[in-house]
Amino acid sequence: MNNQKIKSSTFLSLETRVAVITGGAAGIGLSTAKLLAKMGATIALLDVNESRGHEAIKEIRKIGVQAKFYLCDVTKDTQCQKTVAAIVNDFERIDILFNNAGVIVRKNAVELQEDEWDLVINVNLKAIFLLSRHVLPIMIKQGNGGSIVNTGSGWGLKGGPNAVAYCAAKGGVVNMTRAMAIDHGKHEIRVNCICPGDTDTELLRGEAVQLNQDMKEFMEEAAERPLKRVGRPLDIAHTVLYLVSDLSSWITGTTIVVDGGGIA
């Protein structure tokens, strides 16, 4: 065996790779974009919030990598197709896709309206299908594999109160990930899912508003798990980095729960 020391960054390096991140203007998406950029990746950031998207790109470029914002509603097939084509035109390839865009409506099946159901299913589930169907042919044509990470949820593995559409969508994400991994393993494309627990983002704090709960009490309840705190966006970003790096080169079709022990 070769006993030569390996630089600690070797397996985490993302130099020469282009990473596409949806819902990238804030929260988990932005934190992940910054972390992948620090590992050398070129960043293509997608979001529907144009002003925040451009601000996010300014932050990422300070790291010293190429980065560009693309205004894209990932629930619309035509926009997904045009955006993927634009990314390839700008950067010539796509190696990583982090399907992270998400939304939640905290209502049960009686209270939930049809348009709210459609919104939650479309953003959390349909968008993964739409963007992946345009990115996968690019990865296949490149011929050197790729990595796709889909954002699920702890509520994609167990039920949760007053979140019927969200639970349905995230459950779909978990199993769609397995199906995609089976279909595209022959192309050396790895597809995995992360299932975050309550993470301190605008999305989580927005749930307190929807439920008309005191914010402090809501966040304290969210922290009631073995590690006694809510997640930080960087906690989730670290796991994404692992899944898109060479450290996880033989991992596909799996779901990693990142929730401070909440499901346990």
Helices (H), 92-232: 114-121, 127-142, 164-184, 202-210, 215-222
**Count of beta carbons in the 10 Å neighbourhood of residue 126:** 17
Instruction: Provide the edge-to-edge strand list for the sheet that holds 18-22.
Output: 67-71, 42-47, 18-22, 96-99, 146-151, 189-196, 255-258
CA distance 47 to 25: 6
Q: Which of 107, 166, 177, 235 is catalytic?
A: 166
In one-letter notation, the amino acid at residue 145 is G
242 catalytically annotated: no
| 3-class SS shares of the chain: helix, strand, coil, % to 5 | 50, 15, 35
CA distance 247 to 16: 17
Q: For residue 258, give the 3-state DSSP assignment.
A: strand
Structure tokens at 100: 């992270």
Comparing CA positions, the residue from 107, 104, 111, 112 lying closest to residue 151 is 104
Taking a C-beta distance cutoff of 8 angstroms, is the pair 206, 200 a contact? no
Structure tokens at 256: 């990693």
- Residue 189 has φ and ψ, to the nearest 5°, of -100, 120
Give the residue numbers marked as catalytic: 166
